[in-house]
Chain A
Amino acid sequence: MLKKISSLPFNGTPEQEAQLVKFIDGIRTQQGCLMPIMQEAQSIYGYLPLEVQQIIARELEISVEEVYGISTFYAQFALSPKGKYNISVCLGTACYVKGAQALVDRITQILGIGPDECTADGMFSLEACRCIGACGLAPVLTVNDDVYGRLVEKDVDDIIKKYQ
C-alpha cells in the first residue's frame, strides 16, 4: 500500500519511549508479538514515524526493514501524524452507493486537504476508510470517536464548524 511519509520533525519524549519499552518487555516472548507491539506504539505516539520503528527493531533485535515492511503493509499503521480531529469518511460499498465520495469532495473543498493529509495548523486530517460496519447509517463519517450517519453533502459544513 502506498503511504504518505511525514517530513515533520519527530518529537517523541523519553517517557513515551519508556512506556513502549516496558510494553515490549512484557510481551516479547509471545509468538507473533510484533504486530501487537506496533499497535501499542501507534496508540502511544499517535503514529509510527521511522524513529519509533527503529526503537521497536532495536528492542526486538530485528531489522528495521522487517518493521517497516509491516507498517507499510497494513492500512491501520500511519506514517504521518493525524490532526487533532481526524475525519474519516467511510468509502465502503454501501456508503459509496449512497454518495460518500461527495462528502470527501466537500471536505476537501472546505479544508483544502486531500485524503491522508493534515491541515497546516494541525487541526484536521482527512482519511478515506473501508467500511466501519455501520452500513445501516450510510453514508457515514467519523471525527475521532464521534460517528455521523445518514449524511448529505451539506451536513459536512456544520460538522466541521463544530470542531473549528
Chain B
Amino acid sequence: MYRSQVLICGGTGCTSSNSQKIIDAMEVALDKAGLSEEVKVVKTGCFGLCALGPIVIVYPEGCFYSRVEVDDVDEIVNEHLLKGRIVKRLIYNETLDVENDTIKSLNETAFYKTQQRIALRNCGVINPENIEEYIANDGYAALGKVVTEMKPEEVIQIILDSGLRGRGGAGFPTGLKWKFAAGNDADQKYVCCNADEGDPGAFMDRSILEGDPHALIEAMAIAGYAIGATQGYVYVRAEYPIAVNRLQIAIDQAREYGLLGNNIFDTDFSFDLGIRLGAGAFVCGEETALMTSIEGKRGEPRPRPPFPAVKGLFGKPTVLNNVETYANIPQIILKGSDWFNSIGTEKSKGTKVFALGGKIEHTGLVEVPMGTTLRQIVEDIGGGIPNGKKFKAAQTGGPSGGCIPASLMDVEIDYDNLLAIGSMMGSGGLIVMDEDTCMVDIAKFFLEFTVDESCGKCTPCRIGTRRMLEILDKITEGKATMEDLDKLEALCDYIKENSLCGLGQTAPNPVISTLKYFRDEYIAHIVDKKCPAGACKNLLNYSIVKDKCFGCGMCAKQCPADAIMVTDYIAPGKKLAAYEIDTEKCIKCGACVASCKFKAIIKE
C-alpha cells in the first residue's frame, strides 16, 4: 500500500513542456528521500487543463500543482510528501481556499464543475500503460458482459436505443451503422477506427488514445462481436507518436490477457486489432478515403453507395467509427441506454468533448453534456478571453465548419442547432477568436488548407477551391470588387452541390458562414480597402505621429527595409527632428512599433 500517489500528466501537451523529465526527477527525489516504498508516481493521460501544464496532482489530498518545472520537484517532495506542507506557490489558484487556508477539490473549480466525463472518464485518472488499472476501473467488464450474456442483436439494440451519434463530424447514428453491417452476410467483415484526427485544432481523439487506449480496444471488440467481424484496424496519424506507442502497448497487453485474439472469455468469439499509420492527408478522415488508404493506395474517396456497411475495406462489410464514439460504448453497455439517453438534448444524446483553443484563458479539453451553450463553455469553463479583449466568434468544425458570432452565444450546442446556424459539430475543435482576428483572413486560412488537402479527384473541389482562394487573396490585398464577392458566393453554392465527398461539399462553409455573420468586414476590405481587425498586412499602413516623435531613431535602427528616415520637422517641446516612414519601402513587419517607447507609431 502506498500512502500517497503522485499523478503526472503524460499527454502530448505536458510532455512537450517536459513532464517526462519531471517524472524522472520525481522518482530520483523520492528515492533520495527514502519514500519510494510509500509514494507512487503514476504517469497518466491528459487532465484536460492544458493551459496550466505540466500538471502534477498529489493524492489523497488532491493537490493540483500547475506549470510545474523540474526545479520544483525537490520542493514538492521535501515539503509536501515528507513534511505534509502543501507548496502553495505552485497550487492552481482556483483550488486554493484562502479564507479557510485549505484546498478545494478540483471538481469545484469553474473548469471542471460543469463537465461530465464519459469519453474522457479515465484520462488523467489511470496509467494508460497498465491494463490492470483499466480493469480495476470496470475495464473490459462490458466486453465480458457482451460476449457471455448477450446476443449481437441485443448489443446493437442497446446502441440504437442510446441515441449515440458519430462524434467524428456528420453525426450519423452509430447503432444504425452497426445494424446495416450486421445485416450483410460475408465471409469476412471489418471494424475500423478513424483516429486520423485531421481537423486542425482538435485533439480529443489523441487524448483518449494517450489516456485510455483500452477503452477503444474494448469498444472495437464489442463492435466486432455485434456485426460479426474478427479483425479490426485503427487508422491513426503518424504525427501522434505517443498515442501510437501507447495504443501498441495496450494491444499487446490485451492479447496477453486473452482480451484480444482467439476465444475471448472462453467463448467462440475471436477478434484481433492492427494499427495502420496515416501519412498526413486530411481527406483520409472521409470514410471511403480512409479505407482506400488502409489498402495501401492513394487515399481518394469514392462515390457512395455502396456504403462501407455493404462494401468497405478490401470490399467487405465494414463499420467505421471515430475514437470518441467508441470511447462511449463500454459505458453505454454497462450503464444502459436509458442512462445515456437521459443526458443531452432531444436529438443529440450524451456528451461531447471540445478542444478549446485560440484566444481563451483555459485552453484544453472539456467534456460537457450536449446542449451546453457556447457562453457556458467560453466564459464559465474556458475562463473568457485573455488581456481584456472582446469575444468575436468561435469556430467549430474545422475547415468544414463555420463560425458562431457573439450574438448566438446562447444557442444550445448540439448537432442540429449548429447546422442550423451554418456551422457544424465536426470533431469538436472550438477555436475562440477575439477582436484582433480578421474573419476574411480566417476564411482564407481554411481555404488554403482545403486547396492543399483537396485530393484532386473531382473538379469542383480541386479547381473550385483554388478559384475561391484567388478571390479571397484579392480581397485581403484590397484589389477586389463587389463583383468578385458575387462570384465567390456563386462558387460556394456550386462546390457545395457538386463535390464528390464531404471534404469538397463542406469546403465553402468557412466562407459562407463568415459572409453570413461578418459581411461588413468583407465589404470594408473591398470598398474601403481597410482591414478592421488590423490583420491583413497589405491593407495596413504604418505611420509616425510626428508630434509624438522624440527623434530617438530607435525605429530606424530596427527597420529591416531601411524605410524610416529623419525629417527636418522638430515637434514642439522636442529636441530632435521627427522620423517618417516611406510607405513604398515599408514591408509592414511591425518591428518599429515594438521598438518605439513613446507609442508614436500607429498602424491603420
Chain A interface (Cβ < 8 Å from any Cβ of B):
1, 31-36, 38-39, 69-70, 73-77, 91-94, 96-98, 105, 109, 129-138, 140, 147, 149
Known contacts A135-B13, A137-B13, then 7 further A-B pairs from the complex at CB < 8 Å, ordered by chain A residue: A31-B295, A32-B295, A35-B296, A36-B277, A92-B201, A131-B203, A138-B363
Query: Can you show 19 pairs from A to B with CB atoms below 8 A apart?
Result: A32-B294, A70-B297, A75-B279, A93-B445, A94-B200, A94-B358, A97-B358, A98-B358, A105-B589, A109-B560, A130-B282, A131-B199, A132-B12, A133-B197, A134-B13, A135-B13, A135-B355, A137-B13, A137-B17
Residues of A close to B203: CB separation below 8 A = 131, 133-135
CB <8 Å contact, B16 and A134: yes
Q: Which of A39, A98, A109, A133 contacts B12 (CB 8 A)?
A: A133
| Interface 0/1 of B530-544, CB less than 8 Å to A | 000000000000000
| Complex: A39 Cα to B453 Cα, angstroms | 20
Name the interface size band of chain B.
35 or more
| Complex: A138 Cα to B198 Cα, angstroms | 17
| Complex: A94 Cα to B445 Cα, angstroms | 12
| Complex: A42 Cα to B559 Cα, angstroms | 42
Residues of B close to A92: CB separation below 8 A = 200-201
CB <8 Å contact, A136 and B279: no
Q: Which of B12, B280, B298, B357 contacts A93 (CB 8 A)?
A: B357
Q: A33-B296, A140-B16 are known contacts. Are A135 and B363 too (CB-CB below 8 A)?
A: yes
Chain B interface (Cβ < 8 Å from any Cβ of A):
12-13, 15-17, 50-51, 53, 197-203, 206, 238-240, 276-282, 293-299, 314, 355, 357-359, 363-364, 395, 398, 429, 431, 433, 437, 442, 445-446, 449, 452-453, 455, 560, 589
Q: Which of B53, B239, B358, B431 contacts A133 (CB 8 A)?
A: B239
CB <8 Å contact, B200 and A130: yes
CB <8 Å contact, B279 and A76: yes
Q: Which of A74, A93, A98 contacts B299 (CB 8 A)?
A: A74
Residues of B close to A70: CB separation below 8 A = 296-298
Q: With both chains docked as a complex, state the minimum distance between the C-beta of A131 and any C-beta of chain B, in angstroms.
A: 4
CB <8 Å contact, A137 and B16: yes
CB <8 Å contact, B433 and A77: no
CB <8 Å contact, B201 and A149: no
CB <8 Å contact, B560 and A1: no
Q: With both chains docked as a complex, state the minimum distance between the C-beta of A127 and any C-beta of chain B, in angstroms.
A: 11
Residues of A close to B281: CB separation below 8 A = 73-75
Q: A75-B280, A129-B239, A137-B13 are known contacts. Are A34 and B296 too (CB-CB below 8 A)?
A: yes
| Complex: A69 Cα to B15 Cα, angstroms | 35
| Complex: A138 Cα to B295 Cα, angstroms | 35
Q: With both chains docked as a complex, state the minimum distance between the C-beta of A3 and any C-beta of chain B, in angstroms.
A: 11
Q: With both chains docked as a complex, state the minimum distance between the C-beta of B571 and any C-beta of chain A, in angstroms.
A: 30
CB <8 Å contact, A93 and B358: yes
Q: Which of B279, B363, B446 contacts A74 (CB 8 A)?
A: B279
CB <8 Å contact, A35 and B449: no
